[in-house]
Structure 1
Amino acid sequence: MSVYQLSRVANRTELAQLAAERIAACINNTLQQRERVQISLSGGSTPEAAYKLLGQLTLAWDRIDFFLGDERWVATDDLLSNARMVRSSLLANPNSSKASFYAVPTNASSLEIGVEAYERSLEQICNSSPPVFDLVLLGLGDDGHTASLFPGTAATLVRDRWVTVGEGKGIPRITFTVPVLCAAREVMFLVAGAGKKVALQRLLDPLEDPVRTPAKLVDTASTISVLADTEACAGLA
């Protein structure tokens, strides 16, 4: 059963600052042990602010591989594209642009072809099966989903692949599967806003059913970090 370490901050600004610091520390610590570091990014407005701050830091950018844990099946310049958000925030600076970013191939001729192509690139670059990321950043939906693992969808049940087709809020998606998320050396949830209060309570509840809250499916050998603002933490002991 996962062990969670909750870090509470006052607001979204402090959340972004702490997240950027933690990500940078993971990068630096990993690069003391290995030549490259592999990080899976999450989409959404909450991590975007952290990415902007991270991109301004002095890091060994040319030794970092960034991936996306999930992506909507939209063009890379679409306003809903996670890849577009990453490029305009994290990779917007001359230094941070030296990092390698492997976006989900939403220009493939079909969802399944996109899944297969992304899966192959993960195995090749991470050189492991399942791919093992040094850090996986995750969000938490108000319905308890994480990545594009939504309650009641087939994607939550996939255990024999590293990438699969997801469906959420009426939009097809490509997402990492549970085995990849569980294989990560470090996992960090970023949670902000009053709308996430119930979902956060469920995530931290050891008795919560993962069927209702798929974020509970993420079960790693190491402690899972949860960074949350005051609004999301309202009602917690």
Structure 2
Amino acid sequence: MTQIKIVADKNALVTSASDFIINKIKETIANKNICSIALAGGSTPKPIYQNIAQSDLPWDKIHVFWGDERYVPPTHPDSNEKMAREAWLNQVDIPAQNIYPMPTLGNNPMADASKYEQELKDFFGVANGFPSFDIILLGMGDDGHTASLFPHTNALKECDRLITVGNKEDNQRLTFTVPLINHAQWVIFLVSGKNKQEALKAVFDQESDSDQYPSKKIQPQGELIWFIDEDANSIRN
């Protein structure tokens, strides 16, 4: 099932998405006594993470992962882990063992992708097949990419692995694969800005090529929620 939530501006998107995510975390913990969430990078999620940090949540029951990561040290300004720790995780009393950053210090991205894949399998107790995250947060680039799944790259073809190496020009990254994302219970896209209009329109166009606009490949077995501000909105034009 897909829901599309159009909001007035980026501030409204931050408020609406924050409330939605916090409520989903609470609901999941009420039902399962645990919640697994995979984070997105980029500028849009940062104020959302700051809002989550201000909420009253049972932090010991929340387990935090990342949907993709640049292959840089966690102290690097471009690190998704660094941003999330500063905006959220360092501000709350979440146990260190509940945080599962992608490994990016091994000088071998594919080996580190395999290492993180095993970490996910161990956490979820899944030897074969794909685990099901409770919540996965995603952004979308102006080229239609999501996580580190870029147009016409080999990462889009990976259907057996949980984690693979994504490439943007000469920069390697670790990323969830399409089938791993699509096994989630809740996938939440956060899309803001006029520069996203063309890609967003293509993602919702039945005739467009999903290899050109990878966000179109995200069709989870659970719920798909799009938070879109009016600047980005092009799907009803």
**Interval containing the TM-score (normalised by the shorter chain):** over 0.9
Any unmatched runs of 5+ in structure 1? none
Equivalent residues of 2:201, 2:234 under 8 A apart: no
What corresponds to 1:126 in structure 2?
A: 124
- Provide TM-score, normalisation by structure 1: 0.94
- Provide TM-score, normalisation by structure 2: 0.94
Q: C-alpha distance in 1, partners of 2:3/2:109?
A: 36
1:222 CA displacement = 3.0
Q: C-alpha distance in 2, partners of 1:4/1:116?
A: 31
Equivalent residues of 1:90, 1:96 under 8 A apart: no
1:95-153 per-residue CA deviation (whole Å, 9 max, x = no partner) reads: 35778221101012411221111001111112234121001111111101001110010
Select which of 46, 68, 71 maps to 1:70: 68
What corresponds to 2:47 in structure 1?
A: 49
> Quick check: 146-155 or 198-207, which moved more?
198-207
1:80 CA displacement = 0.5
Give the % identical residues: 35
> Quick check: 153-162 or 126-135, which moved more?
126-135
1:138-189 per-residue CA deviation (whole Å, 9 max, x = no partner) reads: 1111101001110010000000110001101431100011110110011110
Select which of 85, 97, 100 maps to 1:87: 85
Q: C-alpha distance in 2, partners of 1:104/1:187?
A: 19
1:234 CA displacement = 4.5
Summarize the Cα distance change of 1:182–1:56 in structure 2 as closer, same or farther, 3 Å threshold.
same
Select which of 17, 27, 30 maps to 1:29: 27
Q: Does 1:181 align with 2:188?
A: no
Summarize the Cα distance change of 1:107–1:236 in structure 2 as closer, same or farther, 3 Å threshold.
same
Q: Does 1:201 align with 2:201?
A: yes
> Quick check: 176-185 or 216-225, which moved more?
216-225
Q: C-alpha distance in 1, partners of 2:186/2:69?
A: 21
> Quick check: 102-111 or 140-149, which moved more?
102-111
Q: C-alpha distance in 1, partners of 2:210/2:118?
A: 28
What corresponds to 2:171 in structure 1?
A: 171
1:154 partner letter: N
2:132 partner letter: V
Q: C-alpha distance in 1, partners of 2:69/2:201?
A: 26
Secondary structure of 2:130's counterpart equals: coil
> Quick check: 140-149 or 123-132, which moved more?
123-132
What corresponds to 1:231 in structure 2?
A: 231
1:46-95 per-residue CA deviation (whole Å, 9 max, x = no partner) reads: 01110110111000111001110000000110000000001000213133
Secondary structure of 1:173's counterpart equals: strand
Q: C-alpha distance in 1, partners of 2:84/2:169?
A: 21
Secondary structure of 2:228's counterpart equals: strand
Question: What is the RMSD of the two structures over their aligned residues, measured on CA atoms?
Answer: 1.6
Summarize the Cα distance change of 1:222–1:131 in structure 2 as closer, same or farther, 3 Å threshold.
closer
Any unmatched runs of 5+ in structure 2? none
What corresponds to 2:151 in structure 1?
A: 151
Summarize the Cα distance change of 1:96–1:57 in structure 2 as closer, same or farther, 3 Å threshold.
farther
1:218 CA displacement = 1.0
Q: C-alpha distance in 1, partners of 2:169/2:147?
A: 13
Q: 1:7-26 maps to which residues of 2 (within 5 A)?
A: 7-26=5-24
Q: C-alpha distance in 2, partners of 1:202/1:22?
A: 26
Summarize the Cα distance change of 1:6–1:60 in structure 2 as closer, same or farther, 3 Å threshold.
same
